[in-house]
A and B are shown apart, each in its own frame.
Chain A
Amino acid sequence: MRYVDEFRDSAKASILVREIEALVATMDIPDERPLNIMEVCGGHTHSIFRYGVEGMLPKQIELVHGPGCPVCVLPMGRVDDCVAIAEQKHVIFTTFGDAMRVPGSRKSLLQAKADGADVRMVYSPIDALALARANPTREVVFFGLGFETTMPSTALTILQAEKDDVTNFSVFCNHITIVPTIKAILDSPDLKLDGFLGPGHVSMVIGTAPYEFIARFYRKPMVIAGFEPLDILQSIWMVLKQIKEGRVEIENQYARVVPEGGNSAALRAVARVYELREFFEWRGLGSIDHSGVRLRDAYARFDAERKFAIPNLRIADPKSCQCGEVLKGVIKPWQCKVFGTACTPERPLGALMVSSEGACAAYYQYGGVKRHEAAE
C-alpha cells in the first residue's frame, strides 16, 4: 500500500482499506469473476489514478472507468463543426481550454487557431457574452460543453443574453445528459457491472431521484461519491456493503455538497432553455437516444447550429482507436493497441488521451503501473 502514505489522513485510509478487505473476505467472490464497480465521472477517474486507489483494493474488485468526461466523449464530427464555425471570418469562437486539443478529422481547435481562426479560451460562458458585448461587429460563439454540471451556466448565460438583447452571441450546444448514458451502459450486452460510484457534481445539480431507476429496474446499487480518495474508498465500501446485504439503493456519500433534491434554480434554467435531442453521437459509444440537449425554439436566435451552416457529419473514430471498449470497461487503457505509442497526451489519437479526466491520459500520467507490469 505504498500510496496510502501520500494521503493526508493515511490512518483513515488504512482503516477503510482494511474494512473493504474484511468485507470482501466474507463475500465469497470468485477470482475469475471480480466485482465490477464503475465510476461514471471523469473527476473520480482522475482521483483514482492520482492516488492509486485501484492498487489498494483487493483483487476481487475491479474499477471500470466510465464515460463521464464530456471532453473525451466529444465525437470528431462535432469538433469538425466547431472548426467550420471558427474558420468563418467574422466569428470569434470561444471554448473552455479543455476542448482545444480534442482531435477532429481535419484539425483540432488549437490547430485551427494556429492556422488563423479567432479561437479564444474562456473560463466561463459569461466571459464569452462579455466578448460579444465588446465586439458588436463580430459573431461570438460559445462552445457549450459538459454534463448537467455546466449545463445551467450556459442556460443562465443565454437567459442573460436574451434579457440584454445581445444579438451577436450564440451557443454551439454540445451539452449531454447523464441518465440516458448510464441507461445505455446498463443495456450494453458486453458489460457486467455490479454497482456504480455516482457522479458528485452532476448530482449536485440534478439530485438523487433521477438515478432511482438503476436500483429499481436494473437492481444495481449506486453510491454518489465525493472526490477525495477517502470519499472514494468509503463509497466503494458502501457499494460492497449493499451487495453483501442484498440491498439495491441510491445512497449519497457526498451529502455535504449534494442535496437530495438537487439545485432548483439551476434545474429551472435548464428546463427553460433546453429540450432533449432525439439522439446524440458519442465518441466511442456511438449514438445514444435522448443523451444530448439542444436549445428550444424560443432561443433559436442564440443557437449556433441554426445561425451557421455546419457540416454536421458523422465521422467514424480512427480504426486503431479502442476508446469505446475502454469507455465501456471491456478492455483496460494499456490493452489498446495504440496506447502510449501512436496515442499519447502530447499527440492524442483517441479522446480518452486528451483530458486528464480521461482514463487513458490518467493511466498514462500516473501509470496503473503495478497492474500494467504484472500483465506483461
Chain B
Amino acid sequence: MCLGIPGRIEKIDDFDWNLATVDVGGVKRQVNIACVVSDEHPASSCVGNWVLIHVGFAMSRIDETEAAETLRILTELGEAQAELEAMRLSAD
C-alpha cells in the first residue's frame, strides 16, 4: 500500500469526479485522479499518461521509463503481485 504501483490512464470516466480507468500490468481498474489534475494538467490531457497509484488514487505523474523501472523493482520485491492481487480481490 505504501509503495504504490504504476499505471497508464486509458480513459476518463467522470470529469466531475476525476475518475479514470487505468491499466495496471494488464488489470483495468477505476482510480481517482484528483491529485494529479490541475489547471495546467486538466483531466482531458491525462489520457496516455503514466501515474503512480496508491490505494486507488493516482498520486504522481511519472514518465514511461520510470513506470517500467518501478514495476520491475516492485515485481522483484513481490509488492506488485500483492498489489494486483488486492485489486482483483477488491473488484469481486
Residues of A within 8 A of B (CB): 8, 41-43, 46-47, 50, 69-70, 96-98, 121-127, 145-147, 149-150, 152-153, 156, 160, 201, 204-205, 227-228, 256-257, 263-266, 269, 356-357
- CB of A135 to closest CB in B, whole Å: 15
Nearest B residue (CB) for A356: B78
Q: Please, how many angstroms separate the alpha-carbon atoms of A227 and B77 in the complex?
A: 10
Chain A residue numbers with a CB within 8 Å of B55 are: 96, 123-125, 150, 153
Chain A residue numbers with a CB within 8 Å of B62 are: 256-257
Chain B residue numbers with a CB within 8 Å of A204 are: 52, 59-60
Q: Is B47 an interface residue (CB 8 A)?
A: no
Q: Is the CB of B54 within 8 A of A96?
A: no
Q: Is B32 an interface residue (CB 8 A)?
A: yes
| B-side interface size class | 35 or more
Q: Is the CB of B38 within 8 A of A201?
A: no
Q: Is the CB of A152 within 8 A of B82?
A: no
Q: Please, how many angstroms separate the alpha-carbon atoms of A97 and B34 in the complex?
A: 24
Q: Please, how many angstroms separate the alpha-carbon atoms of A78 and B2 in the complex?
A: 20
Q: Is the CB of A96 within 8 A of B1?
A: yes
Q: Is the CB of B77 within 8 A of A263?
A: no
Chain A residue numbers with a CB within 8 Å of B78 are: 356
Q: Is the CB of A156 within 8 A of B2?
A: no
Q: Is the CB of B86 within 8 A of A97?
A: yes
Interface 0/1 of B20-44, CB less than 8 Å to A = 0000000000111011111000000
Q: Please, how many angstroms separate the alpha-carbon atoms of A236 and B32 in the complex?
A: 35
- CB of B1 to closest CB in A, whole Å: 5
Looking at chain B's contact residues, the main secondary structure is mixed
Per CB-CB distance, the 3 closest pairs between chain A and chain B, nearest first, are A124-B56, A123-B90, A123-B86
Q: Please, how many angstroms separate the alpha-carbon atoms of A143 and B82 in the complex?
A: 19
Residues of B within 8 A of A (CB): 1-4, 17, 30-32, 34-38, 52, 54-57, 59-60, 62-63, 66, 69-70, 72-73, 76-79, 82-83, 86-87, 89-91
Nearest B residue (CB) for A256: B66
With A98-B1, A127-B56, A256-B62: A156-B32 Cβ-Cβ less than 8 Å: yes
Q: Please, how many angstroms separate the alpha-carbon atoms of A153 and B77 in the complex?
A: 24
Q: Is the CB of A46 within 8 A of B54?
A: no
Q: Please, how many angstroms separate the alpha-carbon atoms of A123 and B1 in the complex?
A: 8
Chain B residue numbers with a CB within 8 Å of A160 are: 17
Q: Please, how many angstroms separate the alpha-carbon atoms of A41 and B60 in the complex?
A: 18
Chain B residue numbers with a CB within 8 Å of A127 are: 56, 90
Q: Is the CB of A201 within 8 A of B3?
A: yes
- CB of A268 to closest CB in B, whole Å: 10
- CB of A167 to closest CB in B, whole Å: 19
With A43-B3, A70-B2, A150-B1: A201-B90 Cβ-Cβ less than 8 Å: no
Q: Please, how many angstroms separate the alpha-carbon atoms of A263 and B54 in the complex?
A: 13
Q: Is the CB of B73 within 8 A of A201?
A: no
Q: Is the CB of B1 within 8 A of A146?
A: yes
Q: Is the CB of A201 within 8 A of B54?
A: yes
Q: Is the CB of B86 within 8 A of A121?
A: yes
Q: Is the CB of B56 within 8 A of A257?
A: no
Q: Is the CB of B3 within 8 A of A124?
A: no
Nearest B residue (CB) for A49: B77
**Most A CB atoms within 10 A — which of B2, B72, B78, B83?**
B2
Given A43-B3, A47-B77, A150-B55, 6 additional A-B pairs, CB 8 A: A121-B90, A125-B55, A201-B54, A201-B59, A265-B36, A269-B35
Chain A residue numbers with a CB within 8 Å of B76 are: 50
Chain B residue numbers with a CB within 8 Å of A263 are: 35, 59-60
Q: Please, how many angstroms separate the alpha-carbon atoms of A160 and B30 in the complex?
A: 15
- CB of B21 to closest CB in A, whole Å: 13
Q: Is the CB of A150 within 8 A of B90?
A: no
